[in-house]
Structure 1
Amino acid sequence: MTSAPDQPPAACVLGTLPGPGFEGRRIGIVDLDREGREIGRIDLAEDALPDHVRDRETGAGGGQNGSRPRWIFSDTPKWYPPLLAAGVSIERCHDLRLTHAILARSELVTAPEALRAASDWDAAPADAAAPEQAAALFDVDAGRGFIPQVPHDLEAALAEYARQTTAIETASDPGRLRLLLAAESAGGLVAAEMRAAGVPWDEVEHDRILSDLLGPRPIRDGKPAKMLAKAEEVRAALDDPRVNLDSPNRLLAALRNAGINVASTSKWELRTSEHPAIEPLLEYKKMARLLSANGWHWLDEWVDEGRYRPVYVPGGVVTGRWAASGGGALQIPRQLRPALRADEEWRLVSADVAQLEPRALAAMSGDRAMAEAGFGRDLYSGLVDAGVVATRQEAKIAVLGAMYGSTTGEAGALVPRLRQNFPAAMHLVDSAAEAGRQGGVVSTWLGRTSPPPSEGWQRLQRAANRFDATGADEQRARRAAGDHGRFTRNFVVQGTAAEWALAWLADLRLRLERLPEIDGAPESRVAAHPAAASGPVFSRRAHLVFFLHDEVIVHAPAEQADQAAEAIRAAAASAGRLLFGDAPVDFPLDLSIGERAIKD
């Protein structure tokens, strides 16, 4: 160990030190004061890191009086899981990888050149990385999914942190960026903690649901009985006893031979036909999806000791929404919700936000009429009461059409009513769409900026502007411009809603941490039933276990369930104030407490 700080550090930069291979690796920690100046440097063995961090967090190492340091991680999935496994949690961090992705692109950064030149810190969002880029950007870890390859050594971390600090300090609106980066980094902590704790999962109930819907579990890789029976029903209706329903090409040929003139085997295409084979075929496809995505093999791979542990990817979508690189956390089907079951003497506290994206649009655009339509109530019903549309369904179609750029059908007919009644909100999305059509970029409320159009998009526009351009060239260019305009139109809304959700998560995480742990008092029924499978950090206190865009689930001791519910409500209100100040927009929650997390 080298010099230790004489004062509690405001931040601690972690990184590996040069030396032998993975075993016996040493870790360097540089302590920084509030101005970012180095005040101490520590060298310790890797296995000593959890105790050192615990001391800093609990006060023995300087973390007293509310001065717990902000830990500077190269990448949270690299550093935080081993700490959690050792029973150590931290209050705050700054994730260099997540921050780099935002700052290198943000319009608010006035001098991004140094960050963009540091390409070894680049890791594309999951929906932006082409397959050929994946091998270069990510390592595959069987237990943690895709782990971005960024530098983890101490000197590289210090250099990147210095670049990021300069970029923030010289930004056109550093306050917004700091808020965004703090929320994004907190999201990284939440993702690691939710994986460590796991979602309480009833394996017996999951098996019962599968058996009820598909038939009993088959031997090896066979299909369950109800699926086989449904397949025979389809074959009989097609008068083709040998057709392979799992082969799109062969199924399409069989459909056409039976006189069903469809262009593909998608459910949308199939529903255009009234042939007797269609209904059982759609049911078979639904069964096949459930078996493939969440069947018994999924149960064996992703659920262990009563916990489902998916791999979340914060910032995995360019808008800032999360993705998943393992376990399919963002696609758990509704019929499996009863399998989410709290431990004995614990409860699941579930909450989702009503119409999050339209409310974010009302707040960021300053459209008071739209805000008032949904204040304290269902926003879609508020549009009906305001006389904008006739039914709640029309309101939903109109709002979604406005945010996603629908210009045809029922949405195309209804959107002009929103433009007349909510001009500020519509001006915001219309302006974002026009910027996209012109090849520009747009930014969210806190400064996350959309990617520029691809080189392919640029080629189409150049071809349309040539003196010898054909009508087909111009049509392709217009179509591409319209597509990018719809993307930027939605980007500002979805991205800002994602920022609100991150602020909600970050605040809720700290509120739950402040709830007292369940002790061994005789009057506490829960004390005899710790959530041992949730790991040493979370076995005796309420904790987040699930997040999906606008929904959270907290696993809480039964006697603290009401407190956890109040923490969820208070965090939602706080997130609204943090982002939008005194804007007359609220974010009402549909909240429930129970042994199972069942959504209507």
Structure 2
Amino acid sequence: MAIVLSRTDPTSVMASTVDERGELVGAPLALEFSALAAFVTERERAHRAAGDAAERWVWSDSSRWYGDLLTAGVRVQRCHDLRLSHAILRNSTLSAGTEFARSAPSEWSRPAEPLTAAVAPVHSALFDLSDTIASGRSAAAADDSVAEYRRQLRAIAEVPDAGRLRLLLAAESVGALIAAEMRSAGLPWRTEVHDAILTEELGPRVPYGTRPAKLEVLAGRIRSILGDNTVNPDSPQSMLKALNRAGLMITSTSRWELAEYTHPVIAPLLEYKKRARLLTANGWTWMDQWIVDGRFHPDYVPGGAATGRWATSGGGALQLPRQIRAAVTADPGWKLVVADAAQLEPRILAALSADTSMAAAGRGVDMYAGIVASGVVETRDQAKVAMLGAMYGATTGESGRLMPKLTRAYPRAIRLVEQAARAGERGELVTTWLGRSSPAPGEDWREAQWRASQPGASTAEEARARSRARDWGRFTRNFVVQGSAAEWALCWMAELRKGLLAIEGMNPQPPGRRAAASGPVFERIPHLVFFLHDEIIVHTPAEHAEEVAAVVTAAAATSGRLLFGDFPVDFPLGIATVERYSDAK
């Protein structure tokens, strides 16, 4: 059974119980929004008391529904996110033959708008429909949740051997719950530590728009070396002209290109860029905007990238530099359990391709070291460069030189990514292990290919078409690996969330052990607070830290079995229990 929540007007919601085909069971229940939290709480409590599997809550968009339930102290176990599932089913090659995929796009085909266009309080007003109305979406289209759920169930039923696709939809939906929970609880943050780091790196705080003292000193050194008091290190155009006048014929001020040159100005300029980046990305203004009551509350966007990787619509949680990680500090009496999956993408590639030799190279050890021990290459750095080249399509330099060795050692793995690249070059779709498919190349790509195929096409048009084809082939080459790794990570977090709920002894802690800033749901229990592709952080009472670490490890093993059955590939983790994030590595 599932309960579909639909908006009926700005103050009411309809709760419709449906069966496994999406057909109504009994009459829908009309509720005032103010009564919804109590209704959800009662249904969740009843199933837990009876020992039954929790009902699945079905709603349009977890980011729009779940945050306010969490604010009210209500946590749900399962959901089906209609908008995320719609995108997968519409675009997957596995469901391409269904009526659902062939039908005309609808309001459900539009991506969800960011929860916040700029920094806002952690939660909006309870189920405020103003965003939907202002965006021009009709209430009828937004509220057609029961019919949309029925269409999705029908589409899944039409897919032969839909087990993987069902797992993907379940993982995507629980990922949406986790994203909302992490936003609600927040990442524990010490602003006094952050301020001290900024002061050390930049100098004392100055008014917005003013260059801090240490940046000003570096700017003076740059001007002195170049003999130009007008150059502005914050302006790429100004710096590029000054560097060209100094005899450095560079084409950009990227740190990668600057590092290739030897000149007295390079070192201070690179140092300036590093510190200026800290100021603009995570400086005092960022801290004032994003840290609320000792917590960082970013807006995660599950499935925000084409591969299924997460993105953020605010706060930059996926780009927290090492310079400020000391500010991520557990509450008194609590710990941070930090875990990351070692060489996740190469291990995923081994499993995808059923390359037993490659899987064996990483069994119980660092995979790159295992490749060296197998005699494929001479050093760990070579193994890493070669593997990244294989997955990302590097054909020149050190990667290109090492590729033949890698191909001989792991033919199945290399064949898989090569086939994905060739498919992309032909403009075909590729699909991840569980069923997420790549987007089709754009109209510009297709026009370039068409022009090159015409009689009398110029050499330039043919070269442009080949270049576009190779670029898209590099995208599809990596898509199958990166997207499948994202699926593994979703399953890992889902199993971890389940394991954290099951930890024994999670009775209310003494008042001094509460993490009150984490909100009513998470102030007394271990909970996820951070996710970055292959890395997670759990904030936990210190007495549960060892048990949490065991759950994290078990969840990774279970995720591997969910995706790849008994194929012998390991997914080892690096785990550290620390008070500060910076101490984890």
Residue in 2 that maps onto 1:158: 146
Local SS of the residue matching 1:395: helix
1:192 aligns with 2:175: no
The one-letter amino acid of 1:121's match is W
Local SS of the residue matching 1:140: coil
What is the CA deviation profile of residues 328-359 of structure 1, one whole-angstrom value per residue up to 9, with x for unaligned ones?
00000011111110000000000000000000
Local SS of the residue matching 1:544: strand
The one-letter amino acid of 1:254's match is A
Contact 1:145 1:326 in 2 (8 A): no
Distance apart, 1:113 and its partner CA: 4.5
Contact 2:91 2:436 in 1 (8 A): yes
Contact 2:228 2:242 in 1 (8 A): yes
Residue in 2 that maps onto 1:173: 161
1:357-396 map, 5 Å: 357-396=345-384
Distance apart, 1:221 and its partner CA: 3.0
List alignment gaps of at least 5 residues for structure 2.
125-130
Contact 2:83 2:111 in 1 (8 A): no
Residue in 1 that maps onto 2:390: 402
CA distance in 2, matches of 1:42, 1:67: 22
Residue in 2 that maps onto 1:111: 97
CA distance in 1, matches of 2:467, 2:549: 47
Contact 1:533 1:539 in 2 (8 A): yes
CA distance in 1, matches of 2:147, 2:460: 50
The one-letter amino acid of 2:76's match is I
CA distance in 2, matches of 1:481, 1:575: 35
1:436-455 map, 5 Å: 436-455=424-443
Distance apart, 1:532 and its partner CA: 0.4
CA distance in 2, matches of 1:45, 1:118: 32
CA distance in 2, matches of 1:79, 1:124: 16
1:13 aligns with 2:10: no
1:46 aligns with 2:33: yes
1:460 aligns with 2:445: no
Distance apart, 1:597 and its partner CA: 1.3
Distance apart, 1:529 and its partner CA: 1.9
TM-score of the two chains, using structure 1 as the length reference:
0.92
What is the CA deviation profile of residues 393-443 of structure 1, one whole-angstrom value per residue up to 9, with x for unaligned ones?
000000000000111000001111111011111111111011001110100
The one-letter amino acid of 1:14's match is L
1:585 aligns with 2:569: yes
What is the CA deviation profile of residues 176-202 of structure 1, one whole-angstrom value per residue up to 9, with x for unaligned ones?
110000000000000000000000011
Distance apart, 1:477 and its partner CA: 0.5
1:480 aligns with 2:468: yes
Distance apart, 1:152 and its partner CA: 6.7
What is the CA deviation profile of residues 512-544 of structure 1, one whole-angstrom value per residue up to 9, with x for unaligned ones?
112246445xxx6x5522000000000000000
CA distance in 2, matches of 1:295, 1:48: 41
Local SS of the residue matching 1:104: helix
What is the CA deviation profile of residues 238-297 of structure 1, one whole-angstrom value per residue up to 9, with x for unaligned ones?
100121111111111111122221111111221222111111011101111100000000
The one-letter amino acid of 1:573's match is A
Contact 2:183 2:297 in 1 (8 A): yes
Residue in 2 that maps onto 1:534: 518
CA distance in 1, matches of 2:389, 2:225: 38
Residue in 1 that maps onto 2:236: 248
What is the CA deviation profile of residues 29-50 of structure 1, one whole-angstrom value per residue up to 9, with x for unaligned ones?
1001344331131111011000
Distance apart, 1:233 and its partner CA: 0.6
- Judge which range, 157-166 or 345-354, deviates more: 157-166
CA distance in 2, matches of 1:364, 1:175: 16
1:210 aligns with 2:201: no
CA distance in 2, matches of 1:587, 1:29: 41
What is the CA deviation profile of residues 454-487 of structure 1, one whole-angstrom value per residue up to 9, with x for unaligned ones?
1100000011111110111110000001011111
CA RMSD of aligned residues (A): 2.0
What is the CA deviation profile of residues 368-405 of structure 1, one whole-angstrom value per residue up to 9, with x for unaligned ones?
00000001110000000000000000000000000001
User: Does the C-alpha gap of structure 1 residues 386 and 528 become closer, same or farther in structure 2, counting only changes over 3 Å?
Assistant: same
CA distance in 1, matches of 2:236, 2:261: 17
- Judge which range, 446-455 or 256-265, deviates more: 256-265
Distance apart, 1:505 and its partner CA: 0.5
1:565 aligns with 2:565: no
1:423-434 map, 5 Å: 423-434=411-422
2:12 to 26, 30, 34: 26
The one-letter amino acid of 1:548's match is L
Local SS of the residue matching 1:449: coil
Residue in 1 that maps onto 2:325: 337
Percent same amino acid at aligned positions? 51
Number of residue-to-residue matches in the alignment: 571
TM-score of the two chains, using structure 2 as the length reference:
0.94
Local SS of the residue matching 1:59: helix
Local SS of the residue matching 2:50: coil
- Judge which range, 389-398 or 219-228, deviates more: 219-228
Distance apart, 1:588 and its partner CA: 0.3
Residue in 1 that maps onto 2:62: 76
CA distance in 2, matches of 1:63, 1:169: 32
CA distance in 2, matches of 1:323, 1:151: 27
Distance apart, 1:145 and its partner CA: 11
2:45 to 46, 55, 58: 58
Residue in 2 that maps onto 1:99: 85
CA distance in 1, matches of 2:109, 2:138: 10
CA distance in 2, matches of 1:544, 1:271: 38
CA distance in 2, matches of 1:145, 1:490: 36
The one-letter amino acid of 1:90's match is V
1:140 to 117, 126, 142: 117
Local SS of the residue matching 1:31: strand
CA distance in 2, matches of 1:289, 1:382: 37
Contact 1:151 1:157 in 2 (8 A): no
Contact 2:21 2:153 in 1 (8 A): no
Contact 1:74 1:151 in 2 (8 A): no
The one-letter amino acid of 2:579's match is E
2:404 to 397, 416, 424: 416
Contact 1:271 1:278 in 2 (8 A): yes
CA distance in 1, matches of 2:214, 2:116: 39
